[in-house]
Amino acid sequence: MTTITIDLEKDPAVTNLRNYLRIRSVQPNINYDECITYLRGQGAQLGLPVQVFEPVPKKPVLVMTWLGTEPALPSILLNSHMDVVPVFEKSWTHPPFAADLVDGVIYARGVQDMKSVAVQYIEAVRRLKEKGIRLKRTVHLSFVPDEEIGGGPGMAEFVKTDGFKGLNVGFSLDEGLASATDDYVVFNGERSIWHIEVTCRGKSGHGSLLLPDNNGEKIRYIIDKFMDLRGESKKKLEDDPSLTIGDVTSVNLTQLHGGIHDNIIPEKLSVCFDIRLALSVDHQQFEDMIKRWCAEAGSDVTYTFAQKDCYVASTPLDNTNPYWLAFKEAAEKLNISLKPRTFPGGTDSRYIRQLGVRALGFSPMARTTPMLHAHDENLHAGTYLRGIEIYEALVPALANVDSF
């Protein structure tokens, strides 16, 4: 048997990814022009028409379209986001936007989250087209802005437009997470994100006094309630190894505000929590519980939401979903093991599912330490190339699903 050695430095698919990673589309205040220029060039190479939508000024959404043989059927959307999170450059071993290739490993901000997936889509379509393959359903490749700050100016606005409606999306793929094991993780739902600030007002005065109506006592009560809830979720995870973080409600204290001087009792103290509600949680009951806590804490305790996602149903993973059946069958043929999970954070898939469109999160990175948002974010080039092969099988399987 002959072993073929790939020169990763010269491999065009690896070079293509490294070029995309070198674009500093880093939050905040991104100018997306360089991304759009790069992606227009990719579309031209593929021979695909490109549309650029701008539902919010300076927040472009680029869509490449591979027309299917039965374009009236609902289409397949391969979505990715162009932006990446900020970096602390001094903490990186390799410059975060150099896309250094060292011993087969690519180091770059966004190589896992999620520019590798974006280029895997492109390279898989390139290979399929070069083989002369035609697909039944139209396939759209979308590249959206600002997912890393919640997707508000990006996918959240795009799905409201006639441009999105014209894509006639029936199923969407988006990002997942790397897996440290041999399994490939696929995400069919997400927890709801609530960012809440509780404000406690009380009597101000000299720091030497024990005044009534004290906001310090009030805020301690509120913090205790939320942190007790956090402890309950930690215990659930400890008691049941089959559960993952996506199966429970997470609570984290993220900010404390208040006071003007160390010997003055402030008139107001506030605390912020990042809460991710498990899919099993009744949203109204949960908010009613918060209202009750505020009332129990004392007078003049109020709350506001910086973000309050509604409940979004998960994509079914059963015989009612032919896209899932096609996805699973393709994975079996590839001899890869799938582990369905609820995504622990938030992705643009929630805006797709909210429309009733089925969506899965999937990043083909097995035997890879998850490093989203981490220093020295990296991905082995071999894993990246294997991902192209996986999409080369998944995309036709999804796009050739019969009408139903």
Q: Rounded distance, CA 343 to CA 325, Å?
A: 20
83 is catalytic: yes
The pLDDT assigned to 403 comes to: 85
Which residue of the set 83, 123, 146, 348 is catalytic? 83
DSSP secondary structure letter of residue 267: S
Secondary structure of residue 128 in the 3-state scheme: helix
pLDDT digits (tens, 9 = 90+) for 119-163: 999 999 999 999 999 999 999 999 999 999 999 999 999 999 999
9 is catalytic: no
pLDDT digits (tens, 9 = 90+) for 372-391: 899 999 999 999 999 999 99
pLDDT digits (tens, 9 = 90+) for 30-83: 999 999 999 999 999 999 999 999 999 999 999 999 999 999 999 999 999 999
Which residue of the set 113, 146, 147, 392 is catalytic? 147
CA angle 243, 379, 188 (to 5 degrees): 35
Residues 213, 201: contact at Cβ < 8 Å? no
pLDDT tens across the length of the chain (404 residues): 344 457 898 899 999 999 999 999 999 999 999 999 999 999 999 999 999 999 999 999 999 999 999 999 999 999 999 999 999 999 999 999 999 999 999 999 999 999 999 999 999 999 999 999 999 999 999 999 999 999 999 999 999 999 999 999 999 999 999 999 999 999 999 999 999 999 999 999 999 999 999 999 999 999 999 999 999 999 999 999 999 999 999 999 999 999 999 999 999 999 999 999 999 999 999 999 999 999 999 999 999 999 999 999 999 999 999 999 999 999 999 999 999 999 998 999 999 999 999 999 999 999 999 998 999 999 999 999 999 999 999 999 999 999 88
| Neighbour tally for 363: CB within 10 Å | 27
Q: How far is CA 156 from CA 32, 130, 144, 355, 394, in A?
A: 18, 34, 10, 11, 26
Residues 268, 201: contact at Cβ < 8 Å? yes
Q: Rounded distance, CA 65 to CA 67, Å?
A: 6
The pLDDT assigned to 225 comes to: 98
Strands 75-81 and 100-102: unpaired
Main-chain phi, psi angles of 53, to 5 degrees: -105, 155
Q: How far is CA 380 from CA 19, 97, 223, 338, 366, in A?
A: 16, 16, 43, 20, 10
Q: Rounded distance, CA 349 to CA 77, Å?
A: 11
Strands 139-144 and 59-66: antiparallel
Q: Which of 81, 82, 83, 52 is nearest to 65 (CA)?
A: 52
* Domains defined for the chain, CATH in brackets: 12-190+314-399 (3.40.630.10), 192-278+280-308 (3.30.70.360)
